Amino acid sequence: MALSPYLRVRNCPVCGSADTADVVHPARIDERQLDGFAFASRKLPVYMHLRLLKCPTCGVLYASPGFVPEFLAYAYRDAFYDSGDEARHAARSYAGQLNSILNGIGDREVALDVGTGNGAFLRYLREAGFRRVIGVEPSHEAVATAEEWMKPLIQEGMFRAGDFEPNSISLVSCFQTIEHVENPRTLCTDFYRLLRPNGALFLIAHDYRSWVTRVFGERSPIFDIEHQQLFSKDSLRYLLRACDFQEVRIGSIWNSYPLTYWIKLLPIPTWLKQSVIPPAKRLLIGKVPLRLNIGNIYAIGFKRAA
């Protein structure tokens, strides 16, 4: 897969700074290793990434050059998908934050989950009492693995703000997707416009300042060819405030996954993982969920009525 035709130089996608002096990580890419899982969620880490710069204004790490939107739409549409079980575990972990959000929103009319994957979080939104729940997901294979009752609730394709009426959504959730888009500020501005007064945005992102990154460096799985930017708590707060969100809350989130998934993320040779994971999945111990803080952060912001 040749990537160079689909890359273009860009300024900071959060604050627009053109200061490109601080190159934190030069590009690390072996195009021969890119396959159908290159843009898949929760895949085996391949430890490749685009050139990453640190913005001196907002602190985000961002790729420049980065992928053009047309390439991202194609790549995510055709990406392989084999992480349904992990998606259900992740949804359960993220649902733990819902009550703190529901107490602050004005109503429970419509919930929108962008980057919904197999729709696992839609179940929790429905159980929370939302009258209507909608998922948006570009991956054809991910949508195909959704439960039958969920499939009509999922719009297949890239998120387009024009598909929804302004001031029509009570809650927008967007989990580990903000790193993948070409323009995260435009995305969050669109979310703000779609939200009803007293609606809320609920994001999950990777924290490039987490202990995982400090320990493993570029062997941390967050350094990935898919990621157009990586956030810290401060830069994620900057993003939401720049998009006019109020009462912004940022915090760490603990994930619960089966042991086999944690093995998948370890910085050990791929051949060793491929030898250990299949037998572990067949044994009870491989299915035991472990709850860990691996450097994911949540961000919650509200659109308050004037």
pLDDT at 31 over 90: no
As a residue count, the chain comes to 306
pTM of the model: 0.93
pLDDT value, residue 10: 96
Predicted local distance difference test score (pLDDT) of residue 58: 97
- Looking at every residue in the chain, the average pLDDT score rounds to 91
pLDDT in tens, 147-185: 999 999 999 999 999 999 999 999 999 999 999 999 999
Side-chain half-sphere CA neighbours of 68 within 13 A: 8
Residue-range domains of the chain with CATH: 8-259+293-303 (3.40.50.150)
Contact 185, 192 (CB under 8 A): no
Please say if the pLDDT value at position 83 is more than 70. Answer: no
Query: 181-206 pLDDT, tens per residue?
Result: 999 999 999 999 999 999 999 999 99
Confidence of residue 47 (pLDDT cuts 50, 70, 90): confident
**Exposure class string for 265-304: b at 16+ Cβ within 10 A, else e:** beeeeeeebeebbeebeeeeebeeeeeeebbbbbbbbbbe
